[in-house]
Amino acid sequence: MNTALVIMAAGMGSRYGGIKQIEPVGPSGEIILDYSIYDAIEAGFNKVVFIIRKDIEEAFRAAIGDRIEKRIKTEYVFQNMDDLPAGFTVPEGRTKPWGTGQAILACKDVVKEPFAVINADDYYGKEGLKRIHDYLCSPAAVDTKYNFCMAGFEIGNTLSENGTVTRGICQVKDGILTKIVETKEIGKGDGCAVTPDGNVALNQPVSMNMWGLTPDIFPELEKRFVTFLGNIEGNELKAEYLIPTIIGDMVEEGLASVHVLKTADKWFGVTYKEDKPLVVESFAKLVSQGVYKKKLWE
């Protein structure tokens, strides 16, 4: 069965201060994406779709794309701030794209198979990708219009030592997502995670934007993007159309079932520049443990 891995790599990297998606972190100059794609191929995915900005295309192809094209079918799509539905224009002063919902929508012409979604600057571990691939190939029966899945990480495995993070905090019943709340400014506490609304247990399930979706989500994304853009008055410069919010709304409306596939893997990534030494150290440890080869693609 054909399955695609869609990688969101168009982020501005404002907190990091550069094109963090192509920072070398492996012992032989690998970037985080090398490991994610290696794991995806191992899990059974047979196509990769990179969502990037046009202005980083040359640097991105040199850093990863040209290498990956030799190993798996590869497509590129571009997230453009001005790629808007008819009747809408970019508000004066807006400098950033419209978020992960618009990013996924950019894939509608090249993704015709079930697909996983990940962030380019996050390392997720092997388990989540394998479980999502297997679910996409053999989905559970549901009584809703849409049937999706997501990797459910424990929040304690997804925190940064160098600042706060944003996570989709999930409520789950019998393995099915009942609610997701995109929550900013989550930090480490004493034996807990600390959110603006209070402390959360370290085993609280969260979304890390690792989704398993089907192409029938694209019409929903288009329709809901129009609604979103029609309701951003007063927040035109910063409003974001976000996948967790969109899917959360579909769940609460009874349109979608989302199976939460638990993973015990530990996340790490480069949200902040100060994160990079820990990421380098973490990959070195995985190599020493034999999880990956020192020269990944040899």
DSSP 158: S
- Encode burial over 20-31: b for 16+ CB neighbours within 10 A, e otherwise: bbbbebbbeebb
Look at residue 15 and tell me whether its pLDDT is greater than 50.
no
Q: How many CA atoms lie within 13 A of 36 on its CB side?
A: 30
Look at residue 47 and tell me whether its pLDDT is greater than 60.
yes
Q: What is the mean pLDDT of the chain?
A: 93
Which of 15, 4, 48 is CA-nearest to residue 269?
15
Check residue 20 and give its pLDDT. Answer: 65
Query: Stretch 99-106: mean pLDDT, rounded?
Result: 96
Q: pLDDT digit string (tens) for 223-274? A: 999 999 999 999 999 999 999 999 999 999 999 999 999 999 999 887 777 8
Query: Stretch 6-26: mean pLDDT, rounded?
Result: 71
Q: How many domains does the chain have?
A: 1
The per-type count for the chain, helices as H runs and strands as E runs, is 8, 13
Query: Stretch 150-160: mean pLDDT, rounded?
Result: 95
CA distance 77 to 164: 30
Indicate whether 205 belongs to any domain: yes
CATH code where residue 243 lies = 3.90.550.10
Indicate whether 264 belongs to any domain: yes
Indicate whether 294 belongs to any domain: no
Indicate whether 297 belongs to any domain: no
CA distance 74 to 68: 7
Indicate whether 82 belongs to any domain: yes
Query: Containing domain of residue 25, as a range?
Result: 4-288
pLDDT band per the 50, 70, 90 thresholds, residue 19: low
Indicate whether 115 belongs to any domain: yes
Q: Is 30 left (phi over 0), alpha (psi -120 to 50) or beta?
A: beta
Look at residue 16 and tell me whether its pLDDT is greater than 60.
no
Q: How far is CA 238 from the centre of its chain?
A: 20
